[in-house]
Structure 1
């Protein structure tokens, strides 16, 4: 950092030599915004890319697509957004964030690998055009009266198919008590082994034989819903009203900056700008103590005076070779003041 020597600031009609003021100077590199979350910075990339392309770019150049942890992060992204640089006329206000619906994460409630032969965890008997994730809310599976499967909202109240596993013997048990999926899972685990896994057509037929002529019953297949690209467990949610709605294969999340940064689900192959994040680079921090000699009764702790002086200091630092990514702040005393009066009449100036 260029050394700061003599610096004079003109405030109204008075002139000051600066000393014994704490000035905090922070220099970072690159055009970015600092996140409120644990030493991260965000990078708004205006090139048009699909979600997969954007993810690859972020992982190659930075860390990953951005994870949004709170409203402070939302506001940071809004401040970065430049509407004049958005190039897709059909999605002019949207940019990818790291949110996606994990459509391929189906797994059985009973996770014991020894229970399954190779390939049996992948057995499926879906109805045609299922799973369809209607309204982006169908993450659990039920078997219908004709023996095929459909995805349902996990909050639906349905009968359940439990099973009891004793060595090689597997017994399926139909529970005719309407429950949501998690309640059914807990009930089956408490009274049997688990919600039923279906490993092959023979077991599917055994379950079919127990079913009533109408309706559907829970089985043990479910999947994750929306996840963050970097694997973060952030639970913060900022969906736009009515979203996500999966209105046509919409499995990727974008922030809409004309709607206060709220999220929407859109098709993953749309090409729009995106936001990456990376660790905050090591900062060069300098603390200067400066003395101010005032020739007037001007209140140096007045906010307007302090702001004016900061502008002069920033300009002086730029003149000495520092770029615009410099942050200069006053370091306030415990009483909230920046300046305090010296009792010693002999003052060294520089």
Structure 2
């Protein structure tokens, strides 16, 4: 989750943390102990350092009575216990507190159960489903059934499956019509598979549907695939491409989206606002993106119309005579314009130049409002992971606007990464530079 064990920088922050943990202690049964990122120096038992190698300042560290005492000469890690600091055997299994920079972007939606491995996000489901049902379940998450493309992928998926001790479906299936294994990890997607990690005792049966699964009981933890009847049931893992989205943006595949449903601007003002966050007004390029946006807006109960980045070349037409020809529309971005590859235009009323999406009318795109109408809007940008090719633009036609938009650069509410059984505490003021995450998963001190 791109975080470290907690470092406390001053007495004020210590008070905040101790108050948070006191409240957590009251909510949990028994006596709670929490690892923090403090460890005893090997060459000086009286000196303590944080995980970033900086020295702990004893002037504000609130040690317990007669602590640290290095009991049995074997207490070298720092914990918080009953609102005071204590030294503890590093092999003890305790709760722990993590922190991460407030402006550090999130790679995966960990709050939704995803974990990051090798530029991909994985989510384990223990539901026992047929392979086709698992495929649909992942599609419902806007994800794919897990697919192994590299040895690093194999190690990551094996580790995840082994941690739950459950066999899982994989994203390849044998297709009799072409007599080969194909990657079929989402509906309507097929391509030849080129990476395999079969067990030596795999059993192919021409009389059934043959699918690939990963066997957590295999003696070899690398070559652990086996052939399974597709109509039987297994657990499964969904995957999404990992990426980095700026704070406040939500990720779908390789795009990041910022929903500004509570701010109303003209089309040009909305475009300018998005550009201030190194993004653009929303561009929708596929049915998948359209469904994602529509679903998100419906879940948020967002009924208002929202500006998107599309414009029409033909204005003034009436009575539903809007053109359905893609050549008559263009996406207008900060770097230029591009002809759309996908359209969801609905013809109605007098056409204007600026398009909006209407979640109250099945997510259709409309052009019947003047461009200076104040509406909410959606920004988007590509994820930043080094793998997304720069988008190509045909012209550079960014218009100037006479309206100056004053944007206050307050920290947007971030997507907070949390693990199983966690409680998240985020300081609301712009002066706080970290996010605090507490977890009651018992682990030993991270060395």
Shared fold per TM-score greater than 0.5: no
Higher relative contact order by CA 8 Å / sep ≥ 6: 1 or 2? 1
**So what's the TM-score if we normalise by structure 1?**
0.39
Greater radius of gyration (CA): 1
User: More helix per residue: 1 or 2?
Assistant: 1
